[in-house]
Amino acid sequence: MAPAIRALGWAGRFLSIITIAYLATSLYSFTNLMMGGGFALGEPALDFKAQELVISIPFSFNNTGFYDLTDANLTTLIRDQQGNILLRAETLMDSVPKGTRAETIHSISLDFTRILSGDLTRLLINDDKFSFNISIGLRYALALGFKLNLGGLSFPWGAPLSNFSLHPSDVSFNGTHYIQRVELSFENHSQFLPISGRMRVAVYNEMRQEVGNIWVDVIALPGTSFRQSVEMIVENPSLLTGTGQIHVYMESPLIKFGPVVIAYG
Amino acid sequence: MVEEDGTRFLKKTIPRVAKAALWGSFYVLLLHLVQKLLPSEMMGGMMNLVESYIFILLFFAIAGSLTSGTVIEPALGFAKGLTVIAYTWITLNGGLLTLIYPAGEATISFTIDISIYLAMFILAELLGAAKNVLKAIDLLSEHVERPEPL
């Protein structure tokens, strides 16, 4: 039995030495790699395409260490204050063998059609605060997993149709139609999104019956207000109850959304 | 007869005590070096874990040396293997270590996954535990063949 005991003892010792040496060299090499500029993030570039904002961040790994670098990834996540995910972008780099350099571009595409549709249309009328999270993950020497997460960064979101309101005045009759004169106003709190194009405003009473609708040409650059008095044809003045909903639709070469539902009365 | 027994006892005990003293000195020196080379400001809460780990090794090294040649030695070796496995697994959170640094409104977190190294380490400890089981069986079988006090 003695040879078996000795063999097990040596196997255990050998494995311990291998483990310690493997851990020590991979940690040492990885630390040197990170401290010595092995990972670099470039200058972000902004590109405003039709209905989307594309942010491109170049990043590179220069593997001067002892082992291969695998499964490198850069992930960006943007959430609103309620925790809804507005954007998730992930860029993967399968392998960076030792002694080589690899670079790629991390593209973050902020699609306004997606943001300004569905239950997120409230972002058009309410200012918010977006939280930004960026993480870098990789595996070094096939065994050492590493993840750096930078979270809790926030930036304000300015609603492009902030304080949207319709102020109706008395209904008049021009001989053929009943005319409702309304004053339409909003403030564009956005830092970069211009509101320019044709806006359709449909007014409903609390019974969900359409009172009338109008098309208005609007232009409100970032940080400006819009105020205009318009006339809306009302087919049936008895439908005017003073309460209900306003449905706002927007059509422009840059952006298209709707309906944004706003209660009134 | 009494003198012979005393000499035999001393012959058995002195090397065990000397071995225990050597192992004790080694681990005390290791603890001192760790405290000196790795400043507690840098290690944070990890320092207590490292110190506790060295104390566990110190205890089992001294106890194992004092009981050297008896069946208690492999039993302690086996217990040491299991203790070290449980301790490292619990303290290293299964190999997933996370450090969180608040930086104003933001937070920076580092996660290091050393689960593969931990698995290798556990395997090495299990080999040691298996060796101790075999050693205990060997000692017991020797005792059956040639009865003498365990």
pLDDT digits (tens, 9 = 90+) for B18-41: 988 999 999 999 888 888 887 766
pLDDT digits (tens, 9 = 90+) for B132-147: 999 999 988 888 877 6
The residue-averaged pLDDT of A37-45 equals 85
pLDDT digits (tens, 9 = 90+) for A98-139: 999 999 999 988 777 776 666 677 788 889 988 889 999 999
Q: Give yes or no: residues A197 and A133 share one domain.
A: no
Q: Give yes or no: residues A199 and A89 share one domain.
A: no
Residues pairing with B84 in the sheet: none
Q: Tell me which DSSP letter residue A142 carries.
A: T
The residue-averaged pLDDT of A211-232 equals 90
pLDDT at B1 over 60: no
Q: Give yes or no: residues A56 and A139 share one domain.
A: yes
pLDDT of residue A168: 76
Q: Tell me which DSSP letter residue A118 carries.
A: G
Q: Give yes or no: residues A42 and A147 share one domain.
A: yes
Reference A97, options A61, A122, A128; nearest CA is A61
pLDDT at B149 over 70: no
Tokens found for residue A24: 């020590």
Asked which of A140, A157, A174 is the last residue of a domain, the reply is: A157
Binary contact (B124, A8; C-beta < 8 A) = no
Q: Give yes or no: residues A150 and A167 share one domain.
A: no
Q: Give yes or no: residues A143 and A202 share one domain.
A: no
Q: Give yes or no: residues A188 and A116 share one domain.
A: no
pLDDT of residue A68: 94
ipTM of the complex model: 0.78
Angstrom distance (rounded) from CA A256 to CA A162: 17
Q: Give yes or no: residues A58 and A169 share one domain.
A: no
Residue contacts between A and B (CB atoms, under 8 Å): 82
The chain-wide mean pLDDT, for chain A, equals 86
pLDDT of residue B148: 58
Q: Is there a domain that residue A5 lies in? A: no
Q: What is the CATH number of the domain that holds A172?
A: 2.60.40.10
Minimal C-alpha gap between A79 and chain B (Å): 14
pLDDT of residue B145: 75
Q: Are B126 and B82 in contact (CB under 8 A)?
A: no
Angstrom distance (rounded) from CA B62 to CA B76: 10
> Which residue of A15, A131, A133, A134 to mutate against B (max B Cβ within 10 Å)?
A15
Domain of A254, in residue numbers: 162-264
Q: Is there a domain that residue A254 lies in? A: yes
Residues 120-179 on A with a CB inside 8 Å of B are 142-154
Asked which of A111, A129, A157 is the last residue of a domain, the reply is: A157
Backbone angle region of A142, left / alpha / beta, with phi > 0 → left and psi within -120 to 50 → alpha? left
pLDDT of residue A147: 94
pLDDT of residue A116: 67
The residue-averaged pLDDT of B12-20 equals 87
Residue A54 banded pLDDT, cuts 50, 70, 90: confident
pLDDT digits (tens, 9 = 90+) for B55-102: 999 999 999 999 888 889 999 999 999 999 999 999 889 999 888 888
Angstrom distance (rounded) from CA A5 to CA A211: 93
What residues of chain A lie within 8 A of the CB of B137, using their CB? 1
Interface check B99 vs A, CB under 8 A: no
Half-sphere CA count of A153, side-chain side, radius 13 A: 12
Please enumerate in sequence order all residues whose Cβ is within 8 A of that of B142, keeping only pairs 6 or more positions apart, or say none: none
Q: Are B79 and B133 in contact (CB under 8 A)?
A: no
Cis bond leading into A253, ω under 30°? no
Asked which of A139, A157, A175 is the last residue of a domain, the reply is: A157
Question: DSSP readout, B78-132?
Answer: HHHHHHHHHHHHHHTGGGEEEEEEEETTEEEEEEEE-HHHHHHHHHHHHHHHHHH
Domain count, chain A: 2
Q: Give yes or no: residues A205 and A133 share one domain.
A: no
pLDDT of residue A211: 87
Q: Is there a domain that residue A25 lies in? A: no
Binary contact (B115, A145; C-beta < 8 A) = yes
Q: Give yes or no: residues A88 and A66 share one domain.
A: yes
Q: Give yes or no: residues A212 and A121 share one domain.
A: no
Q: Give yes or no: residues A42 and A153 share one domain.
A: yes
Binary contact (B127, A4; C-beta < 8 A) = no
Q: What is the CATH number of the domain that holds A50?
A: 2.60.40
Domain positions in chain B are: 1-68, 70-150
Residue with tokens 């494995």: A15
